Amino acid sequence: MATQQTQLLARTLLTPAVALLFIWMIVPLALTIYFATLHYNLLDPGSESFVGLENFRYFLTDPAFLASLQNTLVLVGSVLAITIILGVPLALLLDQQVVGLSIVRLMVIAPFFVMPTVSALVWKNLLMHPVSGLFAWIAHLFGLPAIDWFNDAPLFSVILIISWQWLPFATLILLTALQSLDEEQKEAAEMDGASAISTFIYITLPHLARPITVVILIETIFLLTVFAEIFVTTGGGPGLQTTNIAFLIYSQALIQYDVGSASAGGLVAVVLANIVAFFLVRIVGRNLEA
Amino acid sequence: MARMVTTRNKVISTAAAWLVGFLIFFPILWMVLASFKTELEAFAIPPSFLFFHWTTENYVTVQERSDYFHHALNSIIIAGGSTLIAMLIAIPAAWSMAFSPTKRTKDVLLWMLSTKMMPPVGVLVPIYLIYRTFGLLDTRSGLIFILCLGNLPIVIWMLFTYFKEIPKDILEAARMDGATIGRELIYVLTPMAVPGLASTLLLNLILAWNEAFWTLNLSTLEAAPLTVFIASYSSPEGLFWAKLSAASTLAIAPILVLGWFSQRQLVRGLTFGAVK
């Protein structure tokens, strides 16, 4: 009797959250699918008409789509590579005996808490400005020509800024994982005369495989839709050089007011994200059973 | 002998860690320094690191010219409001899944997680049009609503992982003693759940404070939080580095402090319990 009551109560308590999330998932998505089949431009009201898959054909064959897909993949891949290749040694370093570790940790984690618009603008102006930026001054000190970051290597500049934001995240997760590594195992390996390198390869690295996977999946989810950093620095330019899928859809929706095409693009973005989400959900799900 | 090696290692790793930490933190430090310079000094080459004329006039100007407090208040209301509402919806849900799990609980949790995977840009068009129709563009309630929904899965997940760690025996003991569910919730569960509740609240405040997709797309002036306020400094004609730095420092300072308190919970919250 009591359990039945509890069950009923439990279900009642769960319902609002489930209902809200369900609506949040279904309604906009259904509308996106519906708009994607329409010719619908906000600048041309009253001309809405059903066009079937025309918008998808238009969006997918648009040279801007291929360019922005490529930019998206380069951006996600580069940031992942940078944050993990730097994050592993950094986490290993912070796992050592360091005097004042808590302060170092604070300094390392700080960029993650800086809002994207601030980090993008501070990097673009104070650091990367071709004349008065700090990097230009440092280059000058070494007798090198200053780099005009956002003209000569716009996508790389954006990648650099985003990597700075996400390096703390990767480091912190890897560090947390390292700290749960069994010390005795490492000590035993040392006793058996294993070198630091083989301890790293045969004990530490396998232990990091899972957290690295988690970092890759979670960063990918967020990096696929990077927006603010591009919005305040390059506006997608020059040309299409820093336009990613998210920015392309934004510009079609809110600059060209082409609702139909932007919706088709939105669905393409949803499909891309779902491919990644599929793997992440499986990993988390496995963990839930343990 | 072994001791000496350890000491030497400690010195080396300490030096290396401090150097790397400083390099990573440097852009923020540089920004804070620039906020106390005059515009001329902020732009000067060679740059001055500490020996410049320290001034706080930028902070005054930022408030006067672009009304920092208006946007800061928006940020507080939007981040705070969306987080509180999300907590109110999430606490019962997480409680029920943690303490009366059914066969479907795992599926429900994973489904909730999957809603977080939906890229916001995928639903930008309908949300924008719905907001336009109902006059929700550039309103605080509109932003509160969307940020609340966006963070709800993370809030539920974090609370769930915390609630799950509360030993069930205690609840059973309370029930044996005749405690009703309401009393159980107030006197037994809540005190044990407070640390988890606090860190969930903190992390989601941070996420909502820094959210820069919906805020940039759905607000312009009236409801614009600090993310949008800072973005308004991106126009080339407004290249005032010292003022940009002052505004930025003000925008990130409160959240940096909160973030430093919650860094340990961050990992757990953002990996959905996959890394502890």
What residues of chain B lie within 8 A of the CB of A140, using their CB? 45
For the segment B50-59, what is each residue's pLDDT rounded down to a tens digit? 777 888 888 8
Tens digit of pLDDT for each residue in B202-222?
A: 888 888 998 888 998 888 888
Contact between residue A111 and residue A83 where contact means Cβ atoms under 8 Å apart: no
Conformation bin of residue A143: beta by default, left when phi > 0, alpha when psi is -120 to 50: left
Whole-number pLDDT of residue B239:
63
| CA closest to A140 among chain B residues | B46
Which of chain B's residues have a Cβ under 8 Å away from the Cβ of A108?
20-21, 24-25
In a domain, A163, yes or no: yes
The count of structural domains within chain A is: 1
Does A26 map to a domain? no
A201 assigned to some structural domain: yes
A43 in B contact zone (CB under 8 Å): no
CB contacts < 8 A, A to B, total: 314
Question: CA-nearest residue of chain A to B104?
Answer: A11
In which band, very low, low, confident or very high, does the pLDDT at B77 lie, cut at 50, 70 and 90?
very high
CA nearest neighbour of A33 among A275, A225, A265, A273: A265
CB contact under 8 A, B251 and A115: yes
Q: Are A24 and B115 in contact (CB under 8 A)?
A: yes
Which residues of chain A lie closer than 8 angstroms to B125, CB-CB? 31-32, 35, 253, 259, 262-263, 266
Residue of B nearest to A282 (CA): B110
pLDDT of A170 reads 92
pLDDT, tens only, B161-173: 888 888 877 777 7
| Prediction ipTM score | 0.85
Task: Concatenate the DSSP letters of all residues of B228-246 into one string.
Answer: HHHHGGGSGGG--HHHHHH
pLDDT at residue number B80: 94
CA angle A166–A168–A170, rounded 5-degree value: 75
Chain A residues within 8 A of B21 when measuring between CB atoms: 103-105, 107-108
Chain A: give the shortest CA distance to residue B140, in Å: 19
Task: Give a yes or no: residue A69 inside a domain.
Answer: yes
Mean pLDDT of B137-145: 90
pLDDT-derived band at B47, boundaries 50, 70, 90: confident
| Residues ≥6 apart with Cβ < 8 Å to A176 | A211, B267, B275, B276
CB contact under 8 A, A28 and B216: no
Can you give the pLDDT at residue B276?
63
Kindly tell me if the per-residue pLDDT of B4 is higher than 70: no
Tell me what pLDDT residue A96 has: 84
* Residue B238: per-residue pLDDT: 52
**pLDDT (mean) for B176-181:** 76
CATH of the domain at A278: 1.10.3720.10
Q: Find chain B residues with C-beta within 8 A of A233's C-beta.
A: 234
pLDDT at A1: 42
Touching check for A284 and chain B: CB below 8 Å? yes
Calculate mean pLDDT across residues B234-261.
81
Q: What percent of chain B has pLDDT over 90?
A: 17
Q: Is residue A166, in this structure, part of any structural domain at all?
A: yes
**Please, where are the H alpha helices in chain B?**
2-35, 39-43, 57-66, 68-99, 105-116, 124-133, 140-164, 168-176, 181-183, 190-210, 214-218, 226-231, 241-270
**Cβ A25–B115 below 8 Å, yes or no?**
yes
Interface test with A, best of B105, B123, B227, B257 (most A CBs within 10 A): B123
Structural contact between residues B79 and B208, judged by C-beta atoms closer than 8 angstroms: yes
Mean pLDDT of B109-117: 81
Is A31 contained in some domain? no
Q: What residue has token string 């330019």?
A: A237
- Flag if A214 and B209 touch (Cβ within 8 Å): no
- Contact status, residue A224 vs residue B120, Cβ threshold 8 Å: no
Confidence band for B78, pLDDT divided at 50, 70 and 90: very high
Q: Is residue A281 part of a domain?
A: yes
- A136-168: buried (b, 16+ CB within 10 Å) or exposed (e) per residue? bbeeeeeeeebbbbbeeebbbbbbbbbbbbbbb
Residue A154: is the preceding peptide bond cis (ω within 30°)? Answer: no
CA–CA gap between residue A3 and residue A204 (Å, rounded): 46
Does residue A68 fall inside a structural domain? yes
Q: Using a CB-CB distance cutoff of 8 angstroms, which residues of chain B are in contact with residue A157?
A: none
Tens-of-pLDDT digits for all 290 residues of chain A? Answer: 456 777 788 788 888 888 888 888 888 888 888 888 888 887 777 777 788 787 888 888 888 888 988 999 999 999 999 999 999 999 999 988 888 888 898 899 899 889 999 999 899 888 888 878 888 888 888 888 888 888 888 999 999 999 999 999 899 889 888 888 777 777 787 788 778 788 888 888 888 888 888 888 888 888 888 888 999 888 887 888 888 888 988 888 888 788 888 888 888 888 888 887 787 778 777 766 55
Q: What's residue A89's pLDDT?
A: 92
Q: Which domains does chain B have, with CATH numbers?
A: 67-270 (1.10.3720.10)
**Full residue range of the structural domain in which residue A74 is found:** 49-288
pLDDT over threshold 80, residue B188: no
